[in-house]
């Protein structure tokens, strides 16, 4: 399998696991993130191109579009935040920042890449990141749930608007062991009790999620679009204890 895939958050937990899987399968990669050192190291290892920048800077998306040379076969937007607290403790700026990084950044990334994605001969695939918190309500998730709920709406709207040339799907993980969740999982007793809340009795790891991202990018998923798919150990849909 070949093709060129653009990954925002390419050096992050899920982004880097996806990049490694895709590199093994022969894809060409362009990675984007804020941390030049980690991006350069991974890009060197995987023979990938990279662009350094912050998704809250609108100019980044144009720079990335310019750096992409020719057609693009896929885009992964694996950038996110995890600010969990009571509604009373969120400011307007906090909530707008969550919206900007999780949802608006995804929209601007697809907008800037759309001309290159439309040039893909085989048809391109976009993978966005939602959350289990849009499929089930959790306390302290107001800002994140709102921002990721917007990703679900964006996924459906873009899947309709960009069909039939570009497929658009979203992955909705539950708690996954990555740098993003490290603060929540630093206490092993807390991590174990969070794992037990999942019918499959464990937390996710980046590879669990990367495998679905790679599938959605591949031609094996070429009749799938407009889907929001849980990778969540059963957390969003099952109750195994009463
Ligand atoms: N891990 C979970 O439990 C979980 C659960 C549900 C949903 N998700 C979603 O899954 C996706 C991937 O998350 P992850 O767990 O892999 O997170 P992660 O390990 O923190 O990786 C996120 C990546 O995004 C980059 N990034 C963050 N803010 C950015 C910004 N403003 N501009 C540019 N790049 C930025 C980070 O770059 P730097 O290295 O520069 O910081 C990092 O490479 C996210 O959308 C997240 O919301 C994760």
Q: Is residue 104 part of a domain?
A: yes
Cα(29) to centroid(ligand 1), Å: 18
Whether residue 195 is predicted with pLDDT greater than 60 in this model: the reply is yes
Query: Prior bond to 164 cis, omega within 30?
Result: yes
Tens of pLDDT along 113-126? 999 999 999 999 99
Ligand 1 pocket check for 63: Cβ under 6 Å? no
196 assigned to some structural domain: no
193 occurs within a structural domain: no
CB within 8 Å of 170: residues ≥ 6 apart: 127, 128, 129, 130, 151, 152, 155, 227, 228, 229
Ligand 1 near 176 CB (within 6 A): yes
Token look-up 């107001």 returns: 142
Look up the domain containing 72 and give its range. Answer: 4-175+205-231
Q: How many domains does the chain have?
A: 1
CATH number of the domain that residue 17 is part of? 3.40.50.720
Do 152 and 170 contact (CB within 8 A), yes or no? Answer: yes
Average model confidence (pLDDT) for the chain?
A: 97
Report if residue 106 sits inside a domain: yes
* Tens-digit pLDDT profile for residues 176-194: 999 999 999 999 999 999 9
Per the confidence metrics, is the pTM higher than 0.95?
Answer: yes
């Amino acid at each position: 399998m070949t093709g060129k895939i653009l990954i925002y958050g390419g050096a992050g937990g899920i982004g880097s696991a996806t990049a490694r899987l895709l590199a093994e399968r022969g894809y060409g990669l362009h990675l984007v993130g804020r941390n030049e050192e980690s991006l350069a190291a991974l890009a060197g290892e995987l023979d990938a191109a990279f662009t350094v920048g912050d998704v809250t800077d609108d100019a980044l998306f144009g720079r990335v579009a310019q750096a992409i040379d020719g057609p693009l076969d896929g885009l992964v937007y694996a950038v996110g935040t995890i600010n969990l607290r009571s509604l009373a403790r969120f400011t307007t700026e906090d909530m707008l920042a969550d919206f900007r990084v999780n949802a608006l950044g995804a929209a601007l990334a697809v907008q800037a890449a759309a001309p290159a994605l439309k040039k893909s001969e085989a048809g391109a695939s976009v993978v966005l990141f939602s959350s289990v918190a849009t499929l089930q309500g959790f306390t302290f998730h107001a800002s994140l749930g709102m921002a990721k709920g917007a990703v679900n709406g964006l996924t459906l709207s873009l899947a309709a608007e960009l069909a039939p040339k570009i497929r658009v799907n979203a992955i909705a993980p539950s708690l996954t062991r990555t740098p993003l969740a490290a603060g929540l999982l630093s206490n092993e007793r807390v991590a174990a009790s969070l794992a037990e809340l999942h019918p499959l009795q464990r937390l996710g790891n980046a590879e669990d999620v990367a495998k679905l991202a790679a599938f959605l990018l591949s031609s094996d998923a070429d009749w799938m679009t407009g889907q929001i798919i849980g990778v969540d150990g059963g957390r969003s849909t099952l109750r195994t204890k009463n």
